[in-house]
Structure formats: C-alpha cells, structure tokens
C-alpha cells in the first residue's frame, strides 16, 4: 500500500512538472478558512487548520503565477466515514487563461498517467466492477442526472435540503460505473467559488468527477469578481451564524488579491486518498491511510 501510494504521488508530481506547473506550499495554519456552509475548520490555537489551500493558491495566481499545484494535508472537523477522514491529502492545481473544460481535459490526462504509472494499465477493477478509465468519460449535467435519478430539476427550483439528500441517496448510487462520470453545471446556489455560466446564469461552471460512484474531484471556473465573492462570503457567514456554526473572518488578503485583479482562471481539488483507495481496490479510506483516527 505504501509503495502504491508513493508511485501515485510520484506520478502526480511528474505529470505537473512536465506540464510546466510550479509545485507550491501554502500555510497549513491559517487565520481565515474559506467560508463554506458545510465545511468546518479545526481550531489550531488562535487560528485554524486549512480545509483547502484554495484561497492562497488563487493569491499566487493574482501575484503572477500561471500554473501552480500543491499536494498536502487538509483538515475538516467532524468528517469521519468510509470515504472521509478528518485529515486527508488534497491535490489542488490552478491555471490562468483556462476554464473548467480545460481542467477537465487535464484531469483526464492526469488520471490516465497516474493509473499507467501505478498499475501499468488504464482500467481498474473496483469492488468487482470493471472500470475503463480511458478514453470515454461520461458527462452528465446536474439537471439531467437529477431529472433521471431523482425526478426533479434543481436548476429550475432549488431545494438545498432535498438536493444533498437526493444527491447521496438517489443520484450518486445510480451513476454509471463502467467509466468515470462527470457531473457538470451545478445550480448557482451551490456554486461555492465557481463563476456563473455566461450563457445560463442559473448554473455555475463547476463539475465533480466520480469514479466507481465515488466522488474524486471538484473543479471550477474560478469566480474572479471581488464584489460577488465578498457577497457570497457574507451570505455564507450569515447562514452559518443562523445555523449556530462557527463563523470565520473574511479573508481580506484574498479579497484584496481579487481587487488587484485575478486573471481568468480555473482550478480543481482532488482527493488523493480516495484515488489511492480506488487504484488499490480498497473498500474504505481506513484501508489506505497508514495512520488514522479511531
């Protein structure tokens, strides 16, 4: 398992190094975790542990970097299950002058390169299901997948509670598994840090990758508008306050970076432990993490 993980990490670094990406390290202990409704940060003294390096990575783009990637630990409070562990390894990469479809093409190339390096082939057997990682990835819109598997369209009328519940209990279990699947164009209400689609502002340019029914990565065309970003953070802070969850300060350094001008960019976060789990045909993250919480 350690050898497989090491091969996967090396393949990831080789992939990005060959494409002219800069490997970076950003702070793990931070003053202002990104405000998201359902992601809780772990306190670390008078600061927090990062839930993702996203905001710092985008500050690097604003500062002039064009291609950056980072591999490292992230922490999320209260997440413990077969596919969740409070400390986990996240791969994030960001590119300027790219949108979420460019990142999709790059992700496909990465998955192929990693599988080839780790296993010597581009198919896997996961929990008795044969999955061809190449060349076809099935792309479904979120609206289409919900219409088919849950019987309603969250883009036309959004219901947050029902959306999450149906996503895990009706949509995800029924996604095709013969090849990787991409769920694309999320309702604007769950845009997070994605920009709205210019030709249909009801949806955000965001996609998620599923392999074998397991969510592996989340990508955006990045929101670069500082006013809308601040408004989203403030709305999220208000919602968290109403729910009685901790509210983190706004990352003013990040917002200042957007003010100074973030070029059009796209980025992605990919769960490395889950990728190892898939390539190792392991049932749970517990089987691939060398050290884990009880």
Q: Least distance from C-beta 77 to other proteins, angstroms?
A: 10
Q: Least distance from C-beta 214 to other proteins, angstroms?
A: 11
Which alpha helices (DSSP H) does 75-159 contain, by range? 100-119, 142-150
Binding site for other proteins (CB under 8 A): 36-39, 78-84, 160-161, 163-165, 167-169, 172, 190, 192, 208, 215, 218, 243
Question: Which residues have CB under 8 Å from 179's CB, separation 6+?
Answer: 131, 132, 133, 136, 137, 138
Question: Which residues have CB under 8 Å from 136's CB, separation 6+?
Answer: 179
* Interatomic CA distance for residues 157 and 143, integer angstroms: 11
**Comparison of 67 and 197: residue with beta carbon closer to other proteins:** 197
Buried (b) or exposed (e) across 219-248, using 16+ Cβ within 10 A? bbbbbbebeebeebbeebbeebeeeeeeeb
**Comparison of 23 and 164: residue with beta carbon closer to other proteins:** 164
Q: Residue 186's beta-bridge partner residues?
A: 204
**Order of strands, sheet of 43-44, starting from the edge strand that comes earlier in the sequence:** 29-30, 47-49, 43-44
Q: Least distance from C-beta 254 to other proteins, angstroms?
A: 18
Structure tokens at 218: 């989340």
**Comparison of 109 and 165: residue with beta carbon closer to other proteins:** 165
At 88 the three-state DSSP class reads: strand
**Comparison of 168 and 238: residue with beta carbon closer to other proteins:** 168
Structure tokens at 284: 């749970």
Q: Least distance from C-beta 17 to other proteins, angstroms?
A: 28
Q: Least distance from C-beta 130 to other proteins, angstroms?
A: 24
**Comparison of 13 and 38: residue with beta carbon closer to other proteins:** 38
Neighbours of 168 (CB within 10 A): 10
**Comparison of 74 and 118: residue with beta carbon closer to other proteins:** 74
Q: Least distance from C-beta 245 to other proteins, angstroms?
A: 9
Q: Least distance from C-beta 247 to other proteins, angstroms?
A: 16
The answer to whether 50 and 87 have CB atoms below 8 angstroms apart is: no
* Interatomic CA distance for residues 40 and 220, integer angstroms: 21
**Comparison of 15 and 163: residue with beta carbon closer to other proteins:** 163
Residue 258 is classified by DSSP as: H
The answer to whether 118 and 11 have CB atoms below 8 angstroms apart is: yes
The answer to whether 151 and 196 have CB atoms below 8 angstroms apart is: no
Q: Least distance from C-beta 116 to other proteins, angstroms?
A: 26
**Comparison of 83 and 292: residue with beta carbon closer to other proteins:** 83
């Amino acid at each position: 398992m350690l050898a497989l993980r090491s091969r996967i990490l090396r393949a990831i670094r080789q992939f990005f190094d060959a494409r002219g990406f800069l490997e970076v390290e950003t702070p793990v202990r931070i003053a202002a975790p990104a405000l998201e409704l359902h992601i809780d940060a772990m306190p670390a003294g008078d600061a927090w542990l990062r839930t993702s390096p996203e905001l710092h990575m985008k500050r690097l783009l604003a500062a002039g970097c064009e291609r950056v990637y980072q591999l490292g630990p992230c922490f999320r409070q209260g997440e413990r299950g077969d596919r969740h562990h409070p400390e986990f390894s996240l791969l994030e990469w960001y590119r300027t002058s790219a949108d979420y479809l460019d990142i999709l093409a790059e992700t496909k190339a990465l998955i192929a390169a990693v599988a080839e390096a780790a296993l010597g082939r581009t198919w896997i057997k996961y929990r008795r299901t044969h999955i061809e990682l190449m060349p076809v990835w099935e792309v479904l819109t979120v609206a289409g997948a919900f219409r088919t598997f849950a019987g309603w369209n969250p883009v036309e009328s959004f219901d947050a509670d029902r959306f999450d519940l149906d996503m895990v209990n009706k949509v995800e279990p029924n996604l095709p598994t013969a090849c990787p699947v991409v769920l694309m164009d999320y309702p604007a209400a769950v845009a997070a840090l994605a920009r709205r689609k210019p030709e249909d502002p009801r949806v955000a340019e965001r996609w998620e990758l599923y392999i074998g029914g397991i969510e592996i990565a989340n990508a955006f065309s990045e929101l670069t508008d500082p006013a809308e970003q601040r408004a989203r953070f403030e709305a999220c802070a208000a919602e968290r306050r109403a729910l009685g969850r901790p509210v983190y300060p706004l990352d003013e350094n990040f917002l200042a970076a957007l003010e100074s001008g973030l070029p059009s960019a796209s980025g992605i976060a990919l769960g490395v432990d889950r990728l190892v789990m898939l390539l190792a045909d392991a049932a749970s993250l517990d089987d691939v993490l060398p050290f884990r919480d009880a």
